Amino acid sequence: MESLESRIGYSFKNKGLLRDALTHSSYYNENRSASHESNERLEFLGDAVLGLIVGEYLFRRFPQLPEGRLTRLRAELVCEKSLDGVAKLIGMGEHLLLGRGEASSGGRTRPSINADAVEALIAAMYLDGGFEEAVKFIRRFILCPFEAGEGVRDRDAKSELQELVQKKSGQFLEYILVGESGPDHMKEFTVEVRLNGEALARAAGHSKKDAEQHAALSALEKLR
């Protein structure tokens, strides 16, 4: 467990919480006399904590996006695939307590088990160290990687918007810089995306490219 703690950058005061987070129901059912629980209840709490932190991050990070787009981004960040990726990164599988049958059938690499354990781990950190410790973990392993890959996501959005308007002949897109504000080290640019000369959407960003990307996301929501 010390190895897992070093990987996540947090040392539990209550080691029992960490053990519970790593205990799959199959192990608990085979060891009813054990003085700990399965991670199912922690998973429930962790799901709520994760959803709140990611939801607030997206709400503040993308003030121009409508509710539907925010919901889809949150779902992408907290989905099984995303959490399984976190589990692989921190080596969660090797620390799980599994029943004999689950362990022998490949449970340590099963995405659903690993994703549930990550949610349980988030809850355990929240209960042991408070909200800020949960925020640190989620920021490090989920939000920072998202930020690093955000340009790819947004380029895809611009491409998707371009493909959408090209379905009808004679249509063209252009991105127009309509405003700048703030000091040089904290500039904010406002860009308007226009379809055949008519304003389609407007968004801001800390670079022209960023603003264009955000405007494309907003435009996609309007056209769908």
Q: Is the pLDDT of residue 193 over 70?
A: yes
Residue 104's pLDDT band, with cuts at 50, 70 and 90, is confident
Mean pLDDT of 15-24: 94
Q: Look up 47 and say whether it is catalytic.
A: yes
Best CA proximity match to 20, nearest among 94, 110, 117, 102? 117
Q: Is the pLDDT of residue 1 over 80?
A: no
User: Among 11-25, 130-144, 157-171, where is mean pLDDT lowest?
Assistant: 157-171
Between these two residues, 155 and 197, which has the higher pLDDT value? 197
Mean pLDDT score of the chain = 87
From 102, 119, 133, 210, active-site residue: 119
Spell out the domain ranges in the chain. Answer: 2-148, 151-223
Highest mean pLDDT of the ranges 61-70, 81-90, 154-163: 81-90
From 20, 43, 47, 154, active-site residue: 47
Contacts of 131 (CB under 8 A, 6+ apart): 49
Please give the pLDDT value at position 170.
80
Mean pLDDT of 34-55: 92
Fold of the CATH domain 2-148: Ribonuclease iii, N-terminal Endonuclease Domain; Chain A (1.10.1520)
User: Among 74-78, 138-142, 178-182, 208-212, where is mean pLDDT lowest?
Assistant: 208-212
User: Among 18-22, 44-48, 65-69, 185-189, where is mean pLDDT lowest?
Assistant: 185-189
Q: Is the pLDDT of residue 154 over 60?
A: no
Contacts of 52 (CB under 8 A, 6+ apart): none
With respect to CATH, is domain 151-223 assigned 3.30.1600.10? no
Contact yes or no for 36/16 (Cβ under 8 A): yes
Contact yes or no for 91/2 (Cβ under 8 A): no
Please give the pLDDT value at position 31.
82
d(CA 31, CA 97): 11
Interval 156-180: pLDDT, tens: 678 888 888 888 778 889 999 999 9
Q: Look up 43 and say whether it is catalytic.
A: no
Q: What are phi and psi of 217, to 5 degrees?
A: -60, -45
Q: Scan for tokens 């005061």, then name that residue.
A: 13
Please give the pLDDT value at position 185.
67
Note whether 2-148 and 151-223 share their fold. no
